[in-house]
A and B are shown apart, each in its own frame.
Chain A
Amino acid sequence: MAEIRNYTMNFGPQHPAAHGVLRLILELDGETVVRADPHVGLLHRATEKLAESKPYNQNIGYLDRLDYMSMMCNEHAYVRAIEELLGIEPPARAQWIRTMFDEITRFSNHLLWIASAGIDLGAMTVFIYAFREREMVMDMYEAVSGARMHAGYYRPGGVYRDLPDTMPPYKESRWTKGKDLKRRNEWRGGSLLDFIEAFAIDVPGKIDEYETLLTNNRIWKQRNVGIGVLSPEKAMQMGCSGVMLRGSGVEWDLRKKQPYAMYDQVEFDIPVGVGGDCYDRYLVRVEEMRQSAKIILQCVDWLKKNPGHVMLKNFKVIPPTREEMKDDMEALIHHFKLFTEGYCVPEGETYAAVEAPKGEFGCYLVSDGANKPFRAHFRAPGFAHLSGINELSRGHMLADVVAIIGTLDLVFGEVDR
């Protein structure tokens, strides 16, 4: 009889379902996974070390590039850590804007998740559908910060600028014209807030569309139900957070349990799974999208009624306005110093965490009183989740590994940092 040996297979780093640069060494017994050993670090850019060589504000841009699917949530954790060390509190309007954009980001992240998880398991249409809405989210980012993805919008003491009064419409081009142009510009007559409001009112219907494609889809259920089951104890032990934890039935959401920004003033529910498998986590993410839309509407409502400052008037941290700089020498010097040397942060250490779409994104910041962080460490949810992939995928078939990688919602920008 022929000798039967385990087979070692290299999954990635250029596999389309590896979500970037995951190299997974799989030890297979036939088609059953015996051991999964992820090799990460292919995207390691030493963000934490780079942060030590730059003044505080100049690091915000690096944060966007960690989890590049939920840019503003990363910024939020970092900015909150600095604010805590400085002992400053941004004005209410800035907090509401942050809450709103955190939810817009969560929505956009889950959109991309549903798109890529769908396409991993062979559901092409949902990908196209999701990108239709994602385009509008990117437009919101662009309207407020000038960048479609890497916004750099949150600053210590508030947000960079107030929400714009106009939402730029599409111009006629060879590709967008006639009825198509009219449809695209339908919500773009008023301010950004009007656009966001129209979007948030409309979007639950769009989520229904994704659900008709997936929720009762026979193939989708066969590929997800009972796959990658995680018990609540195991999830806590493995360092899971966010949807990975809630999918297993643990009712834990930092927005409720340790509220930050204005989350204690908005009304929303935390969806929780029952079985802890990939399908439950899918359902949790879909429901979170609906809840996000609900929160966005509450934020829009408040922001429309309450104009005001979006940046603290604390000139030890915040630069003077352009106008002041034009006719005041001191203001010019002040601006120059803040943008070269930066501000010094009192000695101390802090850990600020936010409920990022993927889980708990934390920022551990050590300051020795200098203008640069002494040590910045970013706690990425994906890193903890991926470390458990061996336990999650053991005993499953090779094809299920794809479903499990999908359900972890990995982005290698944050895993490798």
Chain B
Amino acid sequence: MSEPAKAISELFTSRFGDRVTPGKSLGGILTVEVGVDSWLEVCRALRDEEDFRFEQLTDLCGVDYLSYGQSEWDTSDASTEGFGRGVEGFGPGRFNWAERPEAKDVKQRFGVVVHLLSFKYNRRVRLRCFAPDEGMLIVPSLVEIWSSANWYEREAFDLFGIVFEGHPDLRRIMTDYGFTGHPFRKDFPLIGNVAVRYDSQKKRVVYEPVEIEPRVGVPRVLRNDSRYNTDDFDLAADAEAEAIAAKDKAAGEQEN
């Protein structure tokens, strides 16, 4: 995991050209965006070619980018009455089924994120492919390349509604039998839609609309202030530096 991200990034661009867009790298894992049209081709090459040899698909998950970067509480701007006290907006967990936010014309809303692992080179890479939003979200299935993709794709289908074309057995996996909707989408309420209980009169399990209210108290806040520079506030380092300075000073005085 020691090789520089730049080298891997160049490896990708030199092999795949403009079919891939290498992005940022953190913790030694490079993010590469791949178009949906070349998804299968790139993945197959990543598994088979000597330069890559990603033998394992470690993880695959869906991501819903609706409301990315939106905060519920404006902290950057104060009005004449000071900062807003009420929380506006319906962030995650703060709306019910009727109030759910509408998603209109969101480009690149659903992404499929794959983590690959190469045992040979001890290297990981993250691939992302956005599902084209044309009625159905269709992404080619990776099952024939890595069989571990099977359940992960079922999970992403169940929770996000991404359809994996060519998957041999695309059933729901996590949710209840007969469930409707895709619960991990950002416009699906945290409290859910239906509740299930046993009805002692009917002597069977019944489904009813949920009764509970959304109860997430903490607003979602984005703060673009100095907190990002955590290095400056590393007091332990400061204290250490001070101690060293004091020691040096004492040593200097002794010499004098």
Q: Which residues of A contact B (CB under 8 A)?
A: 40-41, 44, 46, 48-50, 52-55, 84-88, 91, 236-239, 241, 250, 252, 257-258, 309, 312-317, 340-344, 346-353, 360, 362, 364, 366, 368-372, 374-375, 377, 379, 383-384, 386-388, 416-417
Contacts and interface: CB of A to CB of B under 8 A. Distances in A.
B115 A379 contact: yes
Contacts of B93: 50, 52-53
Interface in B146-176: 146-148, 150-152, 172-176
Given A340-B218, A344-B227, A375 B63 contact: yes
A364 B59 contact: yes
Interface residues of B, number: 58
A250 B56 CA distance: 13
Contacts of B78: none
A336 to B, nearest CB: 12
Interface stretch (B25-33, B98-106, B203-211, B243-251): B25-33
Nearest to A352: B27
Interface of A: prevailing SS: loop
Contact of A348 (B26, B64, B183, B235): B26
A344 B223 contact: yes
B27 A314 contact: no
Contact of A343 (B219, B227, B231): B227
B230 A351 contact: no
B132 interface: no
Contact of B174 (A44, A314, A343, A371): A44
Given A314-B235, A417-B174, 20 more contacts: A41-B172, A41-B176, A44-B175, A53-B91, A55-B218, A237-B146, A238-B147, A241-B58, A250-B119, A312-B236, A313-B234, A313-B235, A313-B236, A343-B227, A344-B222, A346-B228, A366-B63, A370-B220, A371-B223, A387-B148
Contacts of A348: 24, 26
What are the 9 closest A-B residue pairs judged by CB atoms, nearest first?
A239-B148, A53-B93, A387-B151, A41-B174, A313-B236, A379-B59, A377-B61, A313-B235, A52-B92
B74 interface: no
Given A84-B27, A368-B69, A316 B146 contact: no
A370 B69 CA distance: 7
B184 interface: yes
5 contacts: A86-B230, A313-B234, A313-B235, A368-B69, A386-B151
A52 B61 CA distance: 15
A48 B234 contact: no
B113 interface: yes
Contacts of A346: 228
B167 to A, nearest CB: 13
A112 B199 CA distance: 38
B34 interface: no
A98 B172 CA distance: 37
Given A49-B190, A384-B151, A350 B26 contact: yes
